[in-house]
Structure 1
């Protein structure tokens, strides 16, 4: 397998598992802490706005290449095996049917609030000096 094919397969698995976490957060057998991490990860993954915008050199892709896969890996590790199996099947079915990446406007709002909070803290720190 060529390296480009390997990267594409990895990206498809990441996308599938992000959607799988959306279904896992509603599954009755998912532990509470795992549900909370699933909600956070899915909101961030599906948000149309990144925490670090992609146009920022190097750092813009850190969240896409490291942070998001790490969050997904951690959330999947916290889920029971039967929940993973059922929710992956649901995610694959949903992705085949919809043929589009879902979007989370709640996630986008959360990212905007984080940026506004960071800007406010910078302003407050500057004013306090």
Structure 2
């Protein structure tokens, strides 16, 4: 059971890296680059749409949103782009760090918090 879970986690990590490299590939269509960037940023971000401390729902977003987003991007991406991204992902030993993606996610949360505070008052 642990081997299967570990293999699944490694496959998920590889898919996240493939989607990340798809987002960075210049030959990927613009709409798909945006979608791939959003999925990769959400998957790599420590900030979730639904916080993990909320029972059941906090973990369901990670179990549903990330795999569905990955599947959608991998289904839409052209085969040549996917092959290049997969080759690059296999050569990477550690996940990429994107300070820009983290800054965007934090900025979005700050704007949403500000709007919520404004709405409450």
TM-score strictly above 0.5:
yes
- CA-atom RMSD, angstroms? 2.0
Gaps of 5+ in 1: none
Q: Distance in 1 between matches of 2:26 and 2:83?
A: 14
Runs of 4 or more above 4 Å deviation: none
Mapping for residues 67-86 of structure 1, pairs under 5 Å = 67-86=65-84
Which residue does 2:17 correspond to in 1? 19
Q: Answer with 1 or 2: which has the greater Rg.
A: 1
Q: Which stretches in structure 2 are left out of the alignment for 5+ residues?
A: none
Say how many residue pairs are matched: 121
Using the size of structure 1 for normalisation, the TM-score is 0.78
Match of 1:32 in 2: 30
TM-score, normalization by structure 2: 0.82
